[in-house]
Amino acid sequence: MSTEAIDWEGLWREGKTMWDAGQPSPALVALFDSQDTRSLIPEHGQGLVPGCGSGYDVVFLANKNRHVTGIDLSKTCVDLLVKNHPNATADNYDFKCADFYNFDIPNGGYDLAYDYTFLCAMPVALRPDWAARYSAIIKKGGVLITLMYPIDGHEGGPPFAVNEQL
């Protein structure tokens, strides 16, 4: 499986990471700020952030009880992550260069996955594969947090906008 519609490696090589907010997703932080939603998020185990980009959400989610792996298709991106996070192992996270649709799932799967500006980066035809892949990699009782952005007809990116039906 590939996402040939966009040359992600080329964008990373040229530094064209216009999506990069420089901080963890505010909506993810808000989920943790509210006890109502925080209590729904598994506190232990293995987490995954596919298409992690600069990795802010990986760092935010990792703690001593929850190991988080960020994966990204772009080698340039992951080389940068590894260089910029020398203490990742000690802080219970890591980064891997991998294709979300084709990588080895750790034994038992993931307790938590966080998808942000990843679904909307996928060609529409891949959406059934996206859903099937999450279904395969998240363990029973695990949680997928995915922020459907944008849903308001916003123009100027991201490339494959979603709506409430799709």
The span from the first CA to the last CA of the chain, in angstroms, equals 20
Min separation Cβ 35 and ligand SAM, Å? 25
Closest CA to 13 of 79, 78, 76: 76
- Measured from the CB atom, is 92 or 103 closer to ligand SAM? 103
Report the SS3 class of residue 66: strand
Nearer to ligand SAM, 25 or 67 (CB): 25
Closest distance of CB 64 from ligand SAM, Å: 24
Backbone angles phi, psi at 67, to 5 degrees: -85, 135
Output the smallest distance, CB 65 to ligand SAM, in A. Answer: 23
Q: Could you tell me which residues come within 8 angstroms of residue 46 by beta carbon, excluding any fewer than 6 positions away? A: 66, 67, 68, 69, 106, 108, 109, 110, 111, 112
- Contact call for residues 156 and 124 (beta carbons, < 8 A): no
Note the residues at the interface with ligand SAM (CB under 6 A).
3, 8, 19-20, 50-54, 71-74, 77, 99-101, 116-118, 121, 158
Kindly state the smallest distance separating residue 30's Cβ from ligand SAM, in Å: 15
Question: At its nearest, how many Å lie between ligand SAM and the CB of residue 49?
Answer: 7
Looking at the Cβ atoms of 36 and 104, the one nearer to ligand SAM is 104
8 or 142: CB nearest ligand SAM: 8
Quote the Cα angle for 28-25-90, to 5°. Answer: 85
Q: How far is CA 39 from CA 31, 67, 111, 132, 143, in A?
A: 9, 18, 14, 26, 12
- Nearer Cβ to ligand SAM (14/44): 14
